[in-house]
Amino acid sequence: MVSIGRLKNLENRKEDIESQIAELQNLSNKCTQDIKAEPNAARRSQLNTQIDNYSTEIDELYEKLENIEKQINQLKSEEKDLSSNNHLDNPNNQQQSKIDESLRYIDFKRALDTFEKIQSQFNREGDVALFFMEEHLIKRGDLCLQRLRDDLTPNTSTLHRQHFRHCPVTYTSGNLEAVMQGIASFFEVKQEEITPEAVIQKIGNSLQNNSVLFIEIHCDISDSCEIEPLIPWFINDFWQPLRARITGLIEDYDGIKVIAIIISDVLLNPKLSTEQLSLYCDDDHHCFSRNKLIQIPLENWTKDDITNWLIKYGNPGLKRSDRNTIANKIYARTQGLPTAVCYALQQQWGTLTCLPTSC
């Protein structure tokens, strides 16, 4: 069965291509205006050549856009789970999106602080960082990841925000090839040409000033030992060569960031923090090593976290006594486990926010 995630990924790629087309069209229009004001014939010839190049790129992007739209339409027609009841335009799903958007602000302070400490050590020209996240499912790591992606979106005009690229892939036990194929597919590397070198080259070609690449490797595993083949392979065969490619790029560009996060719903084996695999797990993050894993810690939420969220996002008509009662009840029932807290808040969403709820 095709997942809703695949449809969302396709729609994200569609938006990305549409943004690229809009930028190229603006650049082409600027060249046209420059030609009118340019007295030098040689310079006008150069600008005309640039317009032709932009036109070629736009045509190629429209072909890609058409292909993606076909895939989206095919998914919608073939997969019942992606029917109107599950489509992103459905009002119920829009309401769920609003719920999730506010719930991501309950508390991920340690996780965000860790991420920011590493970012503060980035080189201005560009840099890379490799993270891992445990207990993603029960501690609502998906909400934390959305916060991280929001923080990483380049602080530039809307026209240039397509330079943020989100590349989610899935790893299943021992299937390293699927990870490489997933990244290759995102960067449209032909099946017969997929090698780590070809994928890294394609990634490098896609980066420019202020580009951000956010790779998520979701581990579909049931036991921590299943992830053991992934980490050394990813670091040695993909990450280190990619880092070398980025080092070459920052000689010409500024602000490039490449982030990869290995995500697990289960706790990783403690031996992964030993020197044997050269993983980085120092909580102080004083010695940032770009070829080692850094943990993004997810924690249970406190009663104060729930109360503070109710103050900011709850019904402004709730009295303090009512708000404290709700927070006390939710915490007592959930013990602060994020999945349980989110479910409890969703169940009372209409009361808490004066918004209709489908829960």
Q: Where are the domains of the chain?
A: 1-84, 124-295, 301-351
Output the pLDDT for position 144. 94
**Mean pLDDT estimate for the chain:** 82
What is the DSSP secondary-structure string of 104-116?
Answer: TTS--HHHHHHHH
User: How many Cβ atoms sit within 10 Å of the Cβ of residue 67?
Assistant: 12
> CATH class for domain 124-295?
alpha beta
Output the pLDDT for position 261. 96
In 3-state terms, what secondary structure has residue 10? helix
Output the pLDDT for position 148. 92
Q: Helix 196-206 and helix 240-249: axis angle, to 10°? A: 30
Residue pair 131/261 in contact (Cβ under 8 Å)? The answer is: yes
pLDDT, mean of each 10-residue run, the chain (359 residues): 62 79 81 88 89 87 85 72 51 62 87 90 88 93 91 60 81 90 90 92 90 93 87 93 92 90 86 50 60 89 94 86 92 94 84 51
Output the pLDDT for position 78. 66
